[in-house]
Structure 1
C-alpha cells in the first residue's frame, strides 16, 4: 500500500473537505496535517466546521487502532476546541466501519463529547449530513 497522503480545502459553503489515501498511521497523519493544513489554515478557519473526509482510497492500520486514534484525537483536542460533525466516506476496506466507530468514541472521550462522527458509503449523503450540521456564523454586535 502507498504511503499516507491527504488534501484539505474549505468549500464555498464552509464545509471542510479532505481526501485521504494510502495507509493511515497517526505519525504520517500528523506530518501531513502540519504540511497540508497547518501551513495554509489557522484553527479559527476550521474550528467547529463540519468535515467530510473521503477515505475510499485509504487503508486503516491492521493493528493497534487504539494507539493511532488516541494520538489523532489528542492532537485535535488541542487544535479544535469546538465540537464538530465529521462525515467519513469509506470504501470496501475490511474493518473500516468498526475502526471508525472506535475513532468516533475516541473523539467523544478525548476531544469533545458533543462531536459527531458517522460513516457513509456515499459522498452525497456524507456531504448532506455535514451540511445539515453547519452553524451560521456568530454575529457580533455593532
Structure 2
C-alpha cells in the first residue's frame, strides 16, 4: 500500500522516510525467511511496479525500523504526529503488532481518539444491521 496506493502515500508527510522503514522491515523479513516464495513474489512485484521501491530495495544500507515518529496528513483531521511502534512477542516473534500512540493533549492524541470513536460507531452500526 505504501508504494502502490496514492491515497496511502498521501497520508505520510514524509513519505520517503516511511517507505525506507517499510523496505527495511521487509528486508529483515526476507532475511529471516529466505525460502518464503510469497515474500519473493512480493519483492518481485513491487520491484516491477514501483521504481521507488526498486531503488530503495537496491540500497542495502536501509535498516529495519521498530519505532518512529510519523507525521500523518488526514484528509479530514489535518496533520498530526503519532509514534508508530512495531512490537514482537518473544513467544511468537513472527507476529507483529503495530501500535500508534501520541502524548495526551496533543493533536495526535485528539486525532487518534476521534478515529477510534468513529470506528467504534461504525462497528456498532454494522453489528446492529
TM range (shorter): under 0.3
Larger helix share, 1 or 2: 2
Q: TM (normalized to structure 2)?
A: 0.26
Which of structures 1 and 2 has the bigger CA Rg?
Answer: 2
Which is bigger in relative contact order (C-alpha 8 A, separation at least 6)? Answer: 1
Structure 1 length normalisation: TM-score?
A: 0.24
